[in-house]
Amino acid sequence: MVSLLIAVIIAAIIFDYINGFHDAANAIATVVSTGVLPIRTAVLIAAVLNFGGAITGTAVAKTIASGFADPAIVTQLVVLAALVGASVWNLFTWWFGIPSSSSHALIGGLAGAVVAHAGVAAFKWEALGKKVLLPLVLSPTIGFVVAFFVMIALVWVVRGRWPRPVLFGLALPVVGLLGWGLLKFSTLWDALVVSTWETRIAIAVGLFIIATVPTLYGTRPSSVQRQSRKLQLMSACLMAFSHGSNDAQKSMGIITLALLSFMASGDGSALPHWMLPKGDAVPLWVIVACASAIALGTAAGGTRIIKTMGTKIIRIVPLQGFAAEMSGALTILGASHLGVPVSTTHVINAAIMGVGASKRVSAVRWGVATNILVAWVLTLPLSAALAWLTMKLFALVAG
C-alpha cells in the first residue's frame, strides 16, 4: 500500500508539473506577445510567482480533498486513475495548442475514476454543480465583463492626456492597498509573515508599483501604449501569482485525498506522523512539493498555447494586456479565497475576449474563440472517460 501511495504522489507531482507548462501561458501570453518581455524572462518571473501564489492558502486544496468524494471510499487506484486521465487530456490539448482547463481535467478525472470504482452515487454531483459547473459559467463571464468595462474606462481616462500622470493615478489605489496592509501590522516583516494572503498580495503589488512608477517620470513623455508596458508587467506578475494560488492547490488537494484515503484504510501508522494531514489541514511538505512542481513546470514554458492566447484571439497591445490580466487575476484571486477551483485558462481567455470586444465585436476572432469553447465543454466528460477507462484497466490488472 505504501508503494502505491508513493506512485500516486509522484503522479500528482507530475500532473502539477504538466499543469505548470500547460498553463504557463495564462500568465505570460499577453506580456510576451506584446513584446514587453522576452519569453525566457517571462517564464522565469511566472515560475517564481506561481510558487509564491501556491503557498498562500489551501482553501481550494481542501475542496478537492473532500468536496467531491468521501475519502473512505476512494482508493489509491482511484486517485491514480484520475491523475492519469487528467494528465493524458492535458498533454493532448497542450500538443495541439488548445488552452483547456487543468482544473476541470482533474475534477473530471476524479469523477470518472470514482464512478468506475464505486458507482454513480459515490460521487458528490451536487458539489460538482456548485463548485465546478456554476463557476464554469460565472468565472469567465465575470472575467469578460470586468475586462470589457475596465478597457472602456482606460480608453476614456487616457484619451487626450499625458500618459505619465494618468498611469501614476492608476497606480495610486494599489499604493493605498499597501498602506492599508502595513497599518494593520507593526512592521513589514509581521505583515509579510503573519498576515492574511490578501494583505501579502497588496503589499507585494504595492512595493512593485512604488519601484516602477518613478521610472515613468525619468523619461520623456511618450505614447500611452509605451508607458503602459510597465503596468502590463505588473499585471502579468499578479496574474502569475493568482494562477499559483488556485491551480497548484488542486494537486495539493489530490495528494491530501490520497493521504486521507490511506489513513481511512487503517495504514496511516506506516507513515511518519509529519506526512499525514491533521484534520482537514494540508501537510506542509505537500504544499512545498506542489508549489515547486508547478513552478518548475512553468519554467519549462508553454509556447504552443502562448501563440493561441496572445495572437489568435485578438491582436493585443500593452494597455489591453494590462486590462485583461488585472481583470483575470482579480477574478481568480476571489475564487481562491472562496475555495472554488476555477479554470484560470477560462478566465484569462474570457478577459482577453472582453478586452477585444470593448474595441469592436469583430476585433475578436470568434472562430478561434469557438474552438476554445468546444475544448472547455469537452474537458470534463473526456477526462472523466479517460479516467473511467484507466480505472477499469487497473481493476482488470489487479484482478
Task: Kindly report, residue by residue over 208-231, the tens digit of the pLDDT.
Answer: 544 444 444 443 445 555 667 777
Q: Measure Cα distances from 33 to 23, 40, 206, 354, 399 in Å.
A: 16, 13, 25, 17, 52
Check whether 198 has a pLDDT greater than 60: no
- pLDDT given at position 298: 83
Which residue type does 140 have? P
Return the residue matching grid coordinates 469578460: 144
CA angle, 86 then 91 then 95, to 5°: 150
Higher-pLDDT residue of 24, 12: 12
Contact 335, 246 (CB under 8 A): yes
pLDDT the model gives residue 36: 79
**245 close to 336: Cβ distance less than 8 angstroms:** yes
Which helix (H) or strand (E) segment is 181 a member of?
helix 163-183
State mean pLDDT over 22-42. Answer: 74
Say whether pLDDT at 391 is over 50: yes
The pLDDT of residue 177: 47
Residue predicted with more confidence, 285 or 55: 285
Q: Give 165's contacts (C-beta < 8 A, 6+ positions apart).
A: none
Tell me the pLDDT band of 361, cut-offs 50, 70 and 90. low
Contact status, residue 236 vs residue 325, Cβ threshold 8 Å = yes
Question: pLDDT digit string (tens) for 63-107?
Answer: 888 888 888 888 899 999 999 999 999 888 877 777 677 888 899
- Of 281 and 12, the one with more pLDDT: 12
* Predicted pLDDT at 230: 74
> What was the pLDDT predicted at 84?
94
Cell of 35: 513584446
Say whether pLDDT at 176 is over 60: no
The dihedrals phi and psi of 302, each to the nearest 5 degrees, come to 180, 50
* pTM score, whole prediction: 0.76
* Residue 160 region by backbone torsions, left for phi larger than 0, else alpha for psi between -120 and 50, else beta: left
Q: Where are the beta strands (DSSP E) in 263-340?
A: none
